[in-house]
Chains A and B, each alone.
Chain A
Amino acid sequence: MTILSKDRVGAMLLLAFCVGYGVMSQEIRMLPFQMNAAFHARTMPEALSVLGIVLALMLLIFPGSDTKPVLRGYNWLTAALVILLMFAYALTVRPAGFLLATTLFLMVGFALLGERRPLVLVGASAPIVVGFWLLMSEVLDVYVAPLPAFLGR
């Protein structure tokens, strides 16, 4: 039997999550009269953490399958870079404006995934971003600042 099967690894992760959730459920602040209610803000979280821990332990002890987790053969670096790119987009979409931040996000995203043709990099990003922004702001009346603040927005 595989000791570190996929089910067991997942069960351990979720067990840690459920234990953490249960511990934090004790930090839900309530007034004394609220604590006296039969069903209060902590009741459901407490019940869920117990249920979660029981189920995670069941899975840990009786895993459904013995398949081992595989770490090789995945593009970890590219995925990590795309995740970083997403965080960068979240940080820049406001200060840099929608048009600039999104065009850069798409261009870098295409490049990270292997697109090298400059015409495609620009052609598949800028027109889509401008078109999307026009659709949002001009047709649907949903305004997003298109440019950085120093360019007058």
Chain B
Amino acid sequence: MIEGILIGLSTALTLTNLVMVLMGCLVGTFIGMLPGLGPMSAIALMIPIAASLEPSAGIILMAAVYYGAIFGGSTSSILINAPGVASTVATSFDGYPLAKQGKAGKALAIAAYSSFSGGVIAAIFLLIAAPSLAYVSLSFQSTDYFALMVLGLSAVAAFAGKGNVVKALLMTVVGLMLSTVGTDQTQGVQRFTFGALDLLDGISFLLLVMATFALSEALLAILKPKTDADRLREMEAQRNLGSMAVSKAEVGEMAPVIGRSSVIGFLIGVLPGAGATIASFLAYGMEQRLAGPTKGAAFGHGSVRGLSAPETANNAAATGSFVPLLTLGIPGSGTTAIMLGALIGYGIQPGPRLYIDQPDVFWSVIVSMWIGNIILLILNLPLIPYIARVLAIPGQILLPLIIFFSLIGVYFVSFNTFDIHLMIWFAIAAVILRLLDFPMAPMILGFILGAMMEENLRRALLINNDSWSFLWERPLTAGILALAAVVLIAPVLLGALRRRRA
């Protein structure tokens, strides 16, 4: 391992690769901050540049863009409540309320420190445990993956809040329904395509996220004109971010959250298909439960814990998602799927032999994660007040720009105007549902997990000769499903108990 770190250091610390990390972090932050352009679009846009570089330099550039874009996404989530990606949706739950309270600088600093800690801690885990963790995910079977996804979906109850559990579950089901649009992977049958060729590949994840978050946010801002007081307060939040200092008490509050969220984020990130979104939501839900009734009630209203947990977890998961990518050749998220394509383009086949055949690529990516996180903290954090000026543009100018970046972000992936039309319809539906107080995040979670859930369930049934007994006969599957049931039922039971005591 020491030898590997030295190989990684000698490769990552070359001038070219350092420039790549620096450039990637800055470009990623800038692109990620623009609502509508998240890490997936940012990395996709970087592929032409990366293709002209050495494999290690190209992968380092894309990894840096990835981190930068996640960091930038958090900034737009906090300042204007417009997460460009699903993994920073949970960040906006408490980040935006903090910004509305005039503590935008503090929120950005908490997000940056949490991201940095999550990324660095997870990179240490990755370094120490990469080979053995690969074995852990290898031991998972389809049945366990299915159970894990049920657990992820039932976690929506954890962040739905009182009286909203059924709404959250209903929205999850809607997301699962949307994931079934397109060609069925196993039988090759078309489902809900209405004969349209544009729907054969299903609905793009990016399209749905942009429509339900960035675009619907812009439309809601047009629908609900801000009062002068609101406008003044927001301009104040964006122009004068407030102090970026974090108090000792807040650091004390963040420390255990960072520790727990790093572990949960990394472990979720390692599991192929899980990724940063589930990690951020699970960490948020877990911390809300652990915080107890008094501090838990502050979640959603500007809680330091509520901001720190998803920020730590999404960065830790982003690092963790490199484990299945580099050691098994399975992408842990949509973003790493794009990176897998880029690696294959270089003629590199990720998998167990990557250690042996191209150790410089493997180790330099891991070492560059540390360097990238350090650069994000020492360079981007002081620059954020200046970069964030882009968000201090008046509404009548900013809103059409957000709409433009959202539309064009999706269009530049497919070059198909059908996607723009579909996106507008989804945005209209999202606006109606949001006006009726229906949450969008559970739908996105359902959509992300839908296809994988169906595939794993189908595979599990095939392996078990069409018998459903695997649900209770395999201890790991049964354990995860039992945990899912607890997550779903516990809030209801605890609420009933509390009412009885009161």
Contacts and interface: CB of A to CB of B under 8 A. Distances in A.
Interface of A: 6-7, 9-11, 13-14, 17-18, 21, 24-25, 28-30, 34, 37-41, 44-45, 48-49, 51-52, 55-56, 58-59, 62, 64-65, 67, 69, 73-76, 78-79, 82-83, 86-87, 89-91, 93-94, 102, 105-106, 109-110, 112-115, 120, 124, 128, 132, 136, 139-142, 144
18 contacts: A7-B436, A9-B436, A28-B189, A29-B190, A34-B187, A41-B184, A41-B191, A52-B173, A67-B437, A82-B219, A89-B407, A90-B424, A109-B399, A109-B403, A112-B400, A113-B395, A113-B396, A115-B396
A113 B45 CA distance: 31
A86 B420 contact: yes
Contacts of A141: 48-49
Contacts of A67: 437
B163 to A, nearest CB: 3
Contacts of B433: 10, 13
Given A34-B187, A87-B424, A79 B417 contact: no
Interface string B146-167: 0000000000000000111011
A28 B191 contact: yes
Nearest to B428: A83
Contact of A24 (B45, B192, B394, B431): B192
Contacts of A86: 403, 407, 420, 424
Interface of B: 45-46, 48-49, 162-164, 166-167, 169-170, 173-174, 176-177, 180, 184, 186-187, 189-192, 219, 222-225, 394-397, 399-401, 403-404, 407-408, 411-412, 415, 417, 420-421, 424, 428, 431-433, 435-438, 454, 457-458, 461-462, 466
Given A14-B174, A113-B400, A30 B454 contact: no
Contacts of A73: 224
Contacts of A140: 45-46, 48-49
Contacts of A24: 192
A94 B404 CA distance: 15
A112 B46 CA distance: 34
B420 A39 contact: no
Nearest to A44: B454
Contacts of A78: 222-223
B177 A21 contact: yes
Contact of A41 (B49, B189, B420, B431): B189
Given A21-B177, A89-B407, A106-B404, A142 B424 contact: no
